[in-house]
A and B are shown apart, each in its own frame.
Chain A
Amino acid sequence: MKKFITNILFFLAVTFIGYICSLTLLALFLPHEYANQFNINYKNTVGHGFTRFSEVKEVENIDVLFIGPSTTYMGFDPRIFEKNCITSFNLGSSAQTPIQTHVLLKRYLKQLNPKLVVYNPSPGFFLHKGVESATDLISNDIIDIHTLSMILNYSDPTVWNTFFYTYINRILNLDDSYQQDNIERFDTYIDRGYVSRSVEVNLDNDDEDSTPIDTHTWNPIPLQEEYFKKNIELLKKYKSDFILIETPKRSISTLKTEESNPKIDSYLESFGTYINYNSTVNMETVHFADNVHLNQRGVEYFNSLILARPEFQKFTCR
């Protein structure tokens, strides 16, 4: 029995060494696009995460922080707020779930020191484990204790492969020269985390996502609920004012239907000021780049509504 256990432990150790060697060989000899065929998601997500997380490191002491998934980084334009003398940064990221929001808040909240946090929790993402968003953070931002804490929540091989692959790349300085284009298809990284999409929704795809869903079956993953509560506690601990906002969706989007659920509304209202713009405003098709993301025209209109809110009245041009 003792020999068996010894053999097992030795086998596991050798396997781990083989695993690291395999990832090292992939890092050294294969371009990232091919390495991503091996259950690795290295710098392979949309949303300009690398550029955003690089820029945020140079920013301190802002008035407003925006945080949430892609509807955030495509929903709040810091330039519009700046015209009203409000400094801001948009820390949205692709498919961000509460777990990843927690990492970003722990990492940047103190440095950014915002007077107000606009948190777009997007309840649809409470139903996901957040693998894509986790790999986005791992490969595009620094690796620190918060990264380690995050990946311990995952058993998905893609998260762990991406973590070790990224770490190997960093140690061997293989990604020092990496640059991310500011323009990816229809998306342009503007400034301070904001990404603009200038197209309008393709009306030929009117039927996309129009399948009705049962709006009473919002069953969030317990871990995401737990991290959402931690995020709220963190904001309270740092004494940041915060508001929870749901960005508007196109009327036929199932996400709009899902996020108009009274059960979700009352749940989020229990944590603080919550405004669901799916319920309070009907924006037109021309305001949308697709069923859930605003285009520039939509952002300008939506942000004008946000600026009219009482929470923003304390920010005045001197």
Chain B
Amino acid sequence: MGRNRDHMEIVAKHRWLPPLNDALKILATFSITVLAWVFFRAESLGHAFYILGEIFSASLFEEPGFRFFTLGTLITGFMIVEWLGRSGEYAIEKLGLEWPTILRWGFYIGIVLMIVLLGGQEQEFIYFQF
């Protein structure tokens, strides 16, 4: 009773990295959420279970395909930004506010270049069917 307001503090406050226990909890929460989204996006329960079956098949141990290195680098970068900005209202709330202009512009130009050189095809917004 009354435990729903537990664990509201910033995880690993004043630390660069979380303790192992917290890291595992983060990983578990992330994994459960991602797997739950399969049901969110699937056309039917059968479709959802089919997707889960494909995820947890031998392909899990195969070399990922197209753009693995690029995607891995980008995802790592996003996670670092999210982690560093975890105390804000949103991850990039304070990002770059105190940077010198040249660094900020370099960052903006980097984002533009990533969109142009690494951007994919148009995707349907995940909440579209709602």
Q: Is A38 an interface residue, CB under 8 A from the partner?
A: yes
CB distance from B50 to the nearest CB of A (A): 20
Known: A37-B67, A37-B70. A15 touches B112 (CB 8 A): yes
Contact of A22 among B67, B108, B117, B119 (CB under 8 A): B117
Point out which of B108, B113, B115, B117 has the most chain A C-beta atoms below 10 A from its C-beta: B117
CB distance from B75 to the nearest CB of A (A): 15
CB distance from A37 to the nearest CB of B (A): 6
Contact of B109 among A18, A37, A38, A40 (CB under 8 A): A18
Q: Are the CB atoms of A39 and B113 closer together than 8 Å?
A: no
Known: A37-B67, A38-B118, A39-B118. A11 touches B113 (CB 8 A): no
Q: Are the CB atoms of A157 and B116 closer together than 8 Å?
A: yes
Q: Are the CB atoms of A161 and B117 closer together than 8 Å?
A: yes
Residues of A within 8 A of B112 (CB): 15, 19
Instruction: Report the separation of the CA atoms of residues A14 and B108 in the bound assembly, to the nearest whole angstrom.
Output: 11
Instruction: Report the separation of the CA atoms of residues A37 and B74 in the bound assembly, to the nearest whole angstrom.
Output: 14
Q: Is B105 an interface residue, CB under 8 A from the partner?
A: yes
Point out which of B66, B67, B70, B116 has the most chain A C-beta atoms below 10 A from its C-beta: B116
Residues of A within 8 A of B70 (CB): 37-38
Q: Are the CB atoms of A15 and B109 closer together than 8 Å?
A: yes
How many A residues face the partner with a CB closer than 8 A? Answer: 13
Contact of B116 among A14, A37, A161 (CB under 8 A): A161
Residues of B within 8 A of A157 (CB): 115-117, 119
Q: Are the CB atoms of A18 and B118 closer together than 8 Å?
A: no
A11 to chain B: closest residue by CB:
B105
CB distance from B96 to the nearest CB of A (A): 15
Residues of A within 8 A of B105 (CB): 11, 14
Instruction: Report the separation of the CA atoms of residues A18 and B118 in the bound assembly, to the nearest whole angstrom.
Output: 15
Residues of B within 8 A of A37 (CB): 66-67, 70
Instruction: Report the separation of the CA atoms of residues A40 and B117 in the bound assembly, to the nearest whole angstrom.
Output: 8
Q: Are the CB atoms of B119 and A11 closer together than 8 Å?
A: no
Q: Are the CB atoms of A19 and B116 closer together than 8 Å?
A: yes
Q: Are the CB atoms of A11 and B108 closer together than 8 Å?
A: yes
Q: Are the CB atoms of B117 and A18 closer together than 8 Å?
A: no
Known: A15-B109, A37-B70, A38-B70. 8 other contacts (CB 8 A): A11-B108, A14-B105, A15-B108, A15-B113, A38-B117, A39-B118, A40-B117, A157-B115
Could you list 8 examples of A-B contacts with CB < 8 Å? A11-B105, A14-B109, A19-B112, A19-B113, A38-B70, A39-B117, A39-B119, A161-B116
- Interface on B for A, CB 8 Å cutoff? 66-67, 70, 105, 108-109, 112-113, 115-119
- Interface on A for B, CB 8 Å cutoff? 11, 14-15, 18-19, 22, 37-40, 157, 160-161
Closest 8 A/B residue pairs (Cβ): A38-B117, A18-B109, A157-B116, A15-B109, A39-B117, A15-B112, A22-B113, A37-B67
